[in-house]
Structure 1
């Protein structure tokens, strides 16, 4: 007999007496056709009052409909002790705070050292069997909240919420300059840069992309802490949009401040003492702030969605990481020095 995860249940109310089981699965449990087909092939995948039945049968008032998914593991992911902080966990979900510098899932050339390796190791040590299913991803150098589904049903539901724009993702970023106005949106289509395909640019022929922003705190005119809400999910969207309005992220080595066009390549990483003397104080501040953090200053601060099983709206927050907290201190000091 197969091992199963805890069942997901639904009790038929009087108003739905006589409905077909397949209607309950579709309209009340919201089981996708793909998952329904998979459950039908499983011994205890779909039951009514504990008995396996055809989905074409009618159900009655008080019947308990249950779906069960077979336990799985990620055989292709090597368990490895990788650091991550748990923000929330239940039998269906794992919400973690990813550190900057860690890739979410193994890719070509990065088979170890990922968040997935760490999560699989954590589950193995607890004697639990789950397949790693990240509901969304963060760039390697972006820290913050990420949701991991413990079964295909949960993954399906959160993915559908994302497609319907019902998942609220908010970020905090430290940027050069202060956006004007201090609260607004960037509505700019994004696509690959034809000259540098690994980069993205705002272009009229790109994919529709919308980012809402609000300045949380400004440090003079040189830098600011900005909260951002993604309405679409394009690659590098925040980094591209903030660069397009003249406020690139501090520390971003791919989408750099225009001041670097004035610096010879060999001097871009040079300390303050050997920077060209022609730089203005504000241009010098740009370079010094970039030197104060080893990655783009972007943090996935808050994630909100409806729990696929309890139907409760849940919000998870990850505190600002130490490197960005230190960077705020540096920005405030430069504000005093100007």
Structure 2
């Protein structure tokens, strides 16, 4: 059972408005909760969904573990946790989540093991990082928070910043606005394509390593396309060091891309939150 205290910002909303407009829970899920005798408001079962709420009320919301990923013990670097979300620092070489039902060895498998004794929580990846990319990943812990944070992501209200070591010298800030689509000649590769989906990446040079002819750059995304940063940097002639798929020089053990910052509005606490992790030790030339 998930317990939610009604915040002052929500008073005078109805339950319908809270779940629909604040948490962005889908119509089917809202109907299931409305019919459930387990959902209570201040201890009252099946409350009136059209009455105004008051600050301080306690809402009990039933959710069951849906076994999103098989539980498998593994290393887990927890940056932040509450009843709604889990922010993890992913190591390079680890997938964010399984691509097949019985797949193991992913970050989601380790998170499922960590949460296995909590009947109200399962790890739902709100976004993902490529296997070779390290850094911050946001997981929701139940369908309600998944709906809320997925809506924020879709509406570009979750902000992510990355650092990468790119080949060559990038002299000044620039914005790469090029659509991205699947490369029909390579099923695991993306490419800049006029028929692709809109993709916008902002690039800020931080340091040029003259002897190595590489540039440390900071990147922010307005969209979240598959391999977006890798494709965009390659498209301007500055592929990421170690990124063999997109033409990067092979002077690193992995693609040198790291998700260092995550900024979001937490709708269940009505406040903004910021998380930061420095690149790991393997973020370097070999």
- Is the contact between residue 261 and residue 276 of structure 2 (CA under 8 Å) also seen in structure 1? yes
Provide the residue aligned with 2:175 in structure 1: 185
SS at the partner of 2:113? helix
CA distance in 1, matches of 2:101, 2:20: 41
Provide the residue aligned with 2:230 in structure 1: 239
SS at the partner of 1:197? coil
The TM-score with structure 1 as length reference comes to 0.76
SS at the partner of 2:59? strand
CA distance in 2, matches of 1:9, 1:15: 11
Provide the residue aligned with 1:142 in structure 2: 133
- Is the contact between residue 192 and residue 199 of structure 1 (CA under 8 Å) also seen in structure 2? yes
Deviation at 1:97, TM superposition (A): 0.3
Provide the residue aligned with 2:193 in structure 1: 203
Provide the residue aligned with 1:264 in structure 2: none
Equivalent runs, 1:114-129 vs 2, <5 Å: 114-124=106-116, 127-129=117-119
- Per-residue CA deviations over 1:139-192 (Å, capped at 9, x if unaligned) read 111110001111111111111111111110111101101224x21110111112
CA distance in 2, matches of 1:153, 1:14: 16
CA distance in 1, matches of 2:126, 2:186: 29
Flag the structure with higher helix content: 1
CA distance in 2, matches of 1:60, 1:108: 42
- Is the contact between residue 10 and residue 18 of structure 2 (CA under 8 Å) also seen in structure 1? no
Is the alpha carbon distance of 1:154 and 1:194 closer, same or farther for their aligned partners in structure 2, counting shifts above 3 Å? same
- Per-residue CA deviations over 1:63-116 (Å, capped at 9, x if unaligned) read 836241224151x63322221211111122111100011111122397111111
* Runs of at least 5 residues in structure 2 that lack an aligned partner in the other structure: none
CA distance in 2, matches of 1:14, 1:73: 29
Deviation at 1:15, TM superposition (A): 8.0
CA distance in 2, matches of 1:214, 1:28: 34
Equivalent runs, 1:13-52 vs 2, <5 Å: 16=12, 21-27=15-21, 30-45=24-39, 47-52=40-45
Structure number with bigger Rg: 1
CA distance in 2, matches of 1:50, 1:85: 37
Provide the residue aligned with 1:100 in structure 2: 92
The TM-score with structure 2 as length reference comes to 0.89
Equivalences, count: 284
Aligned with residue 163 of structure 1, among 150, 154, 159: 154
Provide the residue aligned with 1:278 in structure 2: none
Provide the residue aligned with 1:274 in structure 2: none
- Is the contact between residue 215 and residue 227 of structure 1 (CA under 8 Å) also seen in structure 2? yes
Deviation at 1:29, TM superposition (A): 5.6
Aligned with residue 173 of structure 1, among 164, 176, 185: 164
Matched, 1:70 2:66: no
* Runs of at least 5 residues in structure 1 that lack an aligned partner in the other structure: 258-285, 331-338
CA distance in 2, matches of 1:153, 1:176: 42
- Is the contact between residue 131 and residue 151 of structure 1 (CA under 8 Å) also seen in structure 2? yes
